[in-house]
Amino acid sequence: MSLVSAVIAAGVFPGQDAPAHEKKRYAEKLSHAVAPALASALRARGLTGTRPLPGQPGEKAFQGGLGPKRVDVSFSDERHGLLLAVSVKSITAPPFSKNLKNRFGDLCTEAITLHMRFPYSIVCCLFAFPAAADDDVTPGRPMSTFRRALKMMSTISGREEYTDPGEKFESVTMMLFNPADESGEGAWVKLYNADTGEAFTESEYIDEMVTLYNRRNPHAEVEALDE
């Protein structure tokens, strides 16, 4: 399953007047569709056993430095513990900027929690916003929420060495998506590297995570090949 397929699987985007529980449910459905898509792509690149596995529970809990932490996408083994993690986050309902600072703080805490216990692990984040979050500019705020989030997340991305600050992620990727309509048409996904602000393809995104894993684990490299 691709990320576009995951967006389609999440269903029709709730209207602005929809109840709060419907908007929350959509965000949950999106995350629950995106995580298996990423896990499947990572397994195809050689990280066999990456969770969630088909037909099995999604998140896996790890004992982090500040307590237990559930991880959306994880590659681990009994000998080394957590080797690679992807946290899937989203803000899907307007006003998109309302919870941005809180999410930023939550992500820093999440990275610290995992890196304290697993300093060598590759901890990544995929942060999703609907296309409308890139259009919510006003005369008093000329930068859209998505662009502000991209700039903000660049400050906690790019952890190159295991000794670098634990609150940083090895990689943060921003996902801009257009939801599907009632017929399942019109969905698209665009990915941006938070470090550079540049767009890249889904295949390049998966390859980047495998490259980061290989660099940190030269004794157990896998090949970053297309599916």
State residue 225's pLDDT score.
44
Is the confidence at residue 177, as pLDDT, over 50? yes
User: Residue 104 falls within a domain, yes or no?
Assistant: yes
- pLDDT (average), residues 189-195: 97
User: Residue 225 falls within a domain, yes or no?
Assistant: no
Q: With beta carbons less than 8 A apart as the criterion, state whether 169 and 115 touch.
A: no
Supply the pTM of this predicted model.
0.92
Is the confidence at residue 80, as pLDDT, over 90? no
pLDDT digits (tens, 9 = 90+) for 151-170: 999 999 999 999 999 999 99
Cα 129 to the center of its chain, rounded Å:
11
Please indicate whether residue 128 or residue 56 has the higher confidence score (pLDDT). 128
User: Residue 81 falls within a domain, yes or no?
Assistant: yes
pLDDT, averaged across the chain: 91
> How many domains are contained in the chain?
1
User: Residue 83 falls within a domain, yes or no?
Assistant: yes
Please indicate whether residue 148 or residue 16 has the higher confidence score (pLDDT). 148
User: Residue 92 falls within a domain, yes or no?
Assistant: yes
Is the confidence at residue 43, as pLDDT, over 90? yes
State residue 223's pLDDT score.
64
Tell me how far apart the alpha carbons of residues 222 and 46 are, in angstroms, rounded to a whole number: 5
Q: Is the dihedral of CA 124, 128, 134, 138 positive or negative?
A: negative
Range(s) of the domain holding residue 204: 3-220
Cα 16 to the center of its chain, rounded Å:
24
> How far lies 118's CA from each of 5, 132, 211, in Å?
32, 37, 18
